[in-house]
Amino acid sequence: MRSLARSSAAMLAICAVAMAAGAQAQKQAAKKVAAKRANELTLAGLRPGRDRVGKASQMFRKFKVTGESELKAGQILWSDACRHQALQVDLDTDNKVRVIRATLPERMMADCSKQSLGPWKTGRGLRVGDSTSRVLKLYGDPDSRSPSTKDGQPLELWYYAFDWAGADVPQLMEVLCTREAEGKPRWVVEITLAGPSL
């Protein structure tokens, strides 16, 4: 009877050690994945889920604000007339920044390569108008790619999930890119950074 109890205790100890080793291996694998990937905290100097509308208004006071009648409640849109680019900020009920989107209006999408780069960039330096090779260099391969359209133009949506970086950072970034056509390089049309769900 005692030998059976000792055997059971020994088996439990072996199982506990094996489970601890497995958990440690999973943590190390997650760290390796995280080391190869990069998350993003800011777009246009704003951090979703942290910054408030007052900071955005102060930062972008030199840009034209689109009339609120043209937007949904809880949105503000600044435009950079010389580069024909726009920055849209969606707010939560406490006027905290929830989603930030840097984009090219429809009229500029056909020939972005001739325009100078806009003022709004991610914390790692990605801007609307950059090549898709720069996106890959900065953030690695996206979690998914899917066909998309904007104003009738066929595009591709690159989706980056940042949930692996923790709940207190922006949780996703979407990069809308032109599709490859006739050997022309692909470039970024829109960047969206969203904070944790409320």
User: What does each of the 198 residues of the chain score in pLDDT, given as a tens digit?
Assistant: 555 455 555 555 565 555 555 556 555 544 444 446 788 899 999 999 889 888 888 888 777 676 554 456 788 888 776 667 888 899 888 888 999 999 886 544 444 455 555 678 999 999 998 999 999 999 999 999 999 998 888 999 999 998 888 888 888 999 999 988 766 778 999 999 998 764
At 85-123, the pLDDT tens digits run 888 899 888 888 999 999 886 544 444 455 555 678 999
Per-residue model confidence (pLDDT) at position 43: 93
Q: Whose CA is closest to 132, among 156, 163, 167?
A: 156
Q: Whose CA is closest to 193, among 116, 123, 146?
A: 123
Cα separation, 171 vs 165, in Å, equals 8
